[in-house]
């Protein structure tokens, strides 16, 4: 009966006071809804802005990465070209020195050869004259031996000088040859290591003189043969040295030309790379500046959004506090008066307050586990039996078990977080290392492939040039054969015509020379002289034409031989270039294949790393709730449970009774 009266009073009071208070609460609720809606809209706008920041940042970072790679490649290109320029400059200087030295050596060798040739000509001339004199002297003596008077003169001579004088007096030798022969024999006597000649050699007999002269002749002939042999050897050595030096000079000039061309190409490549480097560096600086501006703008917006969220949270907290105060000041909130009246003891009130706190906590965090805990606590309160201490202990046990469970989950989650952080960092680093390795190998492959392609293009060009050279040589051979055939035919015809003209001219001259009288009578008008004159002109023209024909053929042969030799040298050079460049291209292709195999292996490793990374990200990132969010929620839940325990243990019967009396007094 008493409970019914109290319920009636509560209903009457609520009807009288509910309308204005309800409007205020409704207004606060509407304002809360509005603030929440504004927050959701602001969150949506910020998420779009954050997505734009992330996408733009990724694009700029990719451009910066690409720009840095291009800058590094361009710097490497410039360094390579500088190194090549330095190398080629050194090569050019060295070749210039070698060419100058070879040229000087060739000039000195040529001067020495000219001097040796001049000396040989003088020696040869002197020896030839000496041999001629000796041969004639021997011939004179042998001839005089067959003459009685001359033989008597020779027999009467007591020495070589008297014998020679006798030969000169007999006009068998000229006085100058006699003097030369005397000087030669005197020189031979002076050079003889035995001293003065034996007087018996110059006895009154031509036999001794002939022996001396024959011996001297043999020596002179031997000297001439030695001199000519030495001249031949010296000439061959000079020709070999000249050919060697000429080849070295020619190849040196060729290598210098190639080095100059390579240096010029490197200068051009360096200039292009330097220009590209300047442009790329400017673009990279602009991208870095834009990234800094973007980061500043996004961070500013994030700070503003965070301040807005905090402000909105404080506003919602203030509204909730005001709403709670109004509800508590005007009513019994979620618990009706009849329910409150039914709570007769402090344990009942404690258990009820704990249940309410658990339900509020579960509702706040949308946690079904906490909702189940609240239901179990409520069941224990209602159906736990008559022993209040057992009920109290069961509730404490349930809450303590839940706290231990949440703390265990927090510990496991923290361990999982450490594992995820470690594995994600290591796997991402492995991925970056593999990608960098692939880029490095790809750069090498591209460079070698480009070089191989260039070499193959050059080889193809050289082969085309060799083909054209062969065609040109074949055409030259064909033209030369045709020219030679025409020359032979024209020469035969011209010689035949010239022979006929000469023969006709001879016949006419002979005829007119034998019959002058008849000729004078019959040729009063001078027609015979005109015919002979024309024949003489024809003879002159045919002779001149034949000479020109021979000269033209000789010039054509010389030009053909010269061009053929040049073509042969060019062919040999180009064939060597084809050989070396084809070999280099083949080596590059082999290296490209090897590097491509290495890259495939690294790509396989990268695929495995990416697969593992996707698994780790799925495990650690791709969840509906982040670790920080779970941690905050779990800490709030644990704090709420601890508050429930504290409330359960600290709320005294006196406080409950006083509170209940104060609230019941409002309806008296």
Dump the DSSP string for 83-118: HHHHHHHHHHHHHHHHHHHHHHHHHHHHHHHHHHHH
CA-based end-to-end distance of the chain? 15
What is the pTM for the complete model shown? 0.35
The total number of residues written for the chain in this structure: 668
Query: How many alpha carbons fall within 13 Å on the CB side of residue 666?
Result: 18
Residues 358/644, Cβ–Cβ less than 8 Å: yes
Residues 399/373, Cβ–Cβ less than 8 Å: yes
Continuous H helices in 515-526:
516-522
Rg, Å, the chain Cα set: 64
- pLDDT for 661: 43
- pLDDT for 115: 92
What is the rounded distance in angstroms from the CA atom of residue 93 to the CA atom of residue 263?
12
Tell me which DSSP letter residue 666 carries. Answer: T
Q: Return the biggest CA–CA distance within the chain.
A: 205
In the three-class reduction of DSSP (H, G, I as helix; E, B as strand; rest coil), residue 209 is classed as helix
User: Chain centroid to CA 497: how far?
Assistant: 72
- pLDDT for 229: 92
What is the rounded distance in angstroms from the CA atom of residue 242 to the CA atom of residue 248?
10
Structural tokens at position 193 = 């290591």
- pLDDT for 103: 92
Residues 651/346, Cβ–Cβ less than 8 Å: yes
Burial profile 13-42: b = 16 or more Cβ within 10 angstroms, e = fewer? ebeeeeeeeeeebeebeeeeeebeeebeee
What is the rounded distance in angstroms from the CA atom of residue 372 to the CA atom of residue 352?
16
Q: What is the mean pLDDT of each run of 10 residues along the chain (668 residues)?
A: 34 42 70 83 86 87 88 91 91 91 91 92 89 84 64 46 51 52 55 42 51 85 91 91 90 90 90 90 89 87 84 78 65 40 46 64 65 65 54 64 70 74 85 89 90 90 90 90 90 86 80 59 54 78 88 90 91 90 90 90 90 82 59 69 63 39 38
Q: How far is CA 501 from CA 486, 504, 515, 532, 540, in A?
A: 22, 5, 21, 10, 10
Decide if domain 445-586 falls under CATH 1.10.287.
Answer: yes
Handedness of CA 273, 277, 283, 288 (dihedral sign): positive
Structural tokens at position 288 = 């870095």
- pLDDT for 382: 58
| Angle in degrees, CA 376, 377, 380, rounded to 5 | 85
Structural tokens at position 104 = 């000087």
What is the rounded distance in angstroms from the CA atom of residue 597 to the CA atom of residue 276?
32
Structural tokens at position 379 = 């069941």
E strands of 371-440, at which residues?
none
For 124-188, the DSSP string reads HHHHHHHHHHHHHHHHHHHHHHTSHHHHHHHHH--SHHHHHHHHHHTTSS-HHHHHHHHHHHHHH
Residues 57/295, Cβ–Cβ less than 8 Å: yes
Structural tokens at position 378 = 């409520």
Q: How far is CA 510 from CA 64, 349, 507, 520, 539, in A?
A: 109, 173, 5, 15, 17
**Distant-in-sequence, close-in-space partners of 617: CB < 8 Å, separation ≥ 6:** 424
Tell me which DSSP letter residue 198 carries. Answer: P
């Amino acid at each position: 009966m008493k409970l019914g009266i109290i319920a009636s009073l509560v209903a009457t009071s609520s009807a009288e006071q509910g309308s204005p208070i309800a409007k205020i609460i409704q207004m606060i609720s509407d304002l809360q809804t509005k603030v929440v809606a504004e927050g959701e809209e602001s969150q949506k706008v910020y998420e779009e802005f954050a997505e734009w920041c992330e996408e733009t940042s990724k694009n700029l970072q990719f451009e910066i990465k690409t720009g840095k790679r291009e800058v590094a490649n361009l710097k490497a290109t410039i360094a390579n070209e500088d190194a090549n320029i330095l190398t080629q400059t050194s090569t050019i200087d060295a070749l210039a020195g070698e060419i100058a030295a070879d040229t000087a050596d060739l000039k000195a060798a040529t001067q020495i050869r000219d001097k040796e040739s001049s000396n040989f000509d003088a020696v040869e001339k002197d020896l030839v004259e000496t041999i001629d004199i000796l041969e004639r002297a021997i011939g004179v003596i042998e001839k005089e031996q067959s003459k009685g008077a001359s033989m008597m003169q020779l027999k009467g001579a007591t020495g070589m000088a008297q014998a020679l004088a006798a030969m000169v007096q007999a006009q068998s030798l000229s006085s100058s040859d006699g003097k030369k022969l005397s000087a030669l024999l005197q020189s031979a006597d002076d050079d003889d290591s035995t001293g003065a000649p034996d007087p018996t050699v110059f006895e009154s007999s031509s036999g001794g003189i002939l022996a001396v002269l024959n011996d001297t002749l043999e020596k002179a002939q031997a000297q001439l043969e030695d001199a000519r042999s030495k001249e031949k050897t010296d000439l061959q050595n000079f020709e070999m040295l000249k050919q060697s030096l000429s080849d070295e000079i020619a190849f040196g000039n060729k290598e210098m030309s190639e080095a100059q061309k390579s240096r010029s190409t490197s200068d051009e490549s360096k200039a292009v790379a330097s220009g590209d480097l300047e442009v790329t560096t400017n673009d990279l600086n602009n991208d870095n500046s834009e990234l800094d501006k973007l980061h500043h703008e996004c961070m500013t917006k994030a700070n503003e959004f965070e301040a807005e969220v905090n402000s909105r949270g404080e506003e919602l907290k203030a509204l909730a506090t005001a709403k709670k105060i109004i509800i508590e000041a005007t009513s019994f909130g979620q618990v009706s008066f009849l329910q409150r009246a039914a709570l007769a003891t402090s344990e009942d009130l404690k258990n009820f307050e704990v249940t309410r706190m658990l339900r509020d906590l579960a509702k706040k965090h949308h946690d079904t586990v906490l909702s189940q805990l609240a239901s179990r606590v409520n069941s224990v309160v209602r159906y736990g039996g008559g022993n209040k201490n057992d009920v109290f202990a069961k509730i404490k046990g349930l809450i303590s078990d839940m706290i231990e469970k949440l703390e265990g989950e927090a510990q496991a989650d923290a361990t999982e977080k450490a594992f995820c952080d470690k594995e994600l960092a290591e796997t991402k680093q492995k991925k970056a290392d593999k990608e960098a390795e692939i880029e490095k190998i790809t750069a090498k492959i591209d460079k070698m492939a480009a070089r191989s392609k260039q070499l193959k293009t050059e080889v193809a060009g050289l082969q085309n040039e060799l083909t054209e050279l062969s065609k040109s040589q074949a055409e030259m051979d064909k033209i030369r054969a045709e020219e030679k055939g025409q020359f032979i035919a024209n020469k035969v015809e011209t010689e035949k015509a010239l022979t006929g003209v000469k023969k006709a001219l001879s016949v006419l001259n002979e005829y007119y020379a034998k019959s002058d009288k008849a000729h004078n009578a019959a040729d009063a008008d001078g027609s015979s002289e005109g015919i002979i004159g024309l024949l003489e002109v024809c003879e002159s023209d045919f002779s001149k034409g034949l000479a020109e024909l021979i000269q033209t053929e000789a010039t054509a042969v010389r030009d053909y031989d010269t061009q053929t030799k040049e073509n042969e040298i060019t062919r040999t050079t180009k064939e060597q270039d084809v050989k070396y460049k084809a070999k280099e291209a083949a080596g590059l292709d082999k290296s490209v294949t090897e590097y491509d195999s290495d890259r495939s292996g690294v790509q396989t490793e990268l695929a495995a790393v990416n697969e593992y990374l996707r698994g780790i990200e799925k495990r650690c990132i791709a969840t509906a709730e982040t670790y920080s969010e779970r941690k905050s929620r779990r800490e709030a839940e644990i704090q709420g449970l601890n508050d429930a325990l504290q409330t359960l243990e600290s709320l005294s019967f006196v406080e409950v009774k006083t509170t209940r009396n104060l609230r019941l007094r409002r309806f008296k």
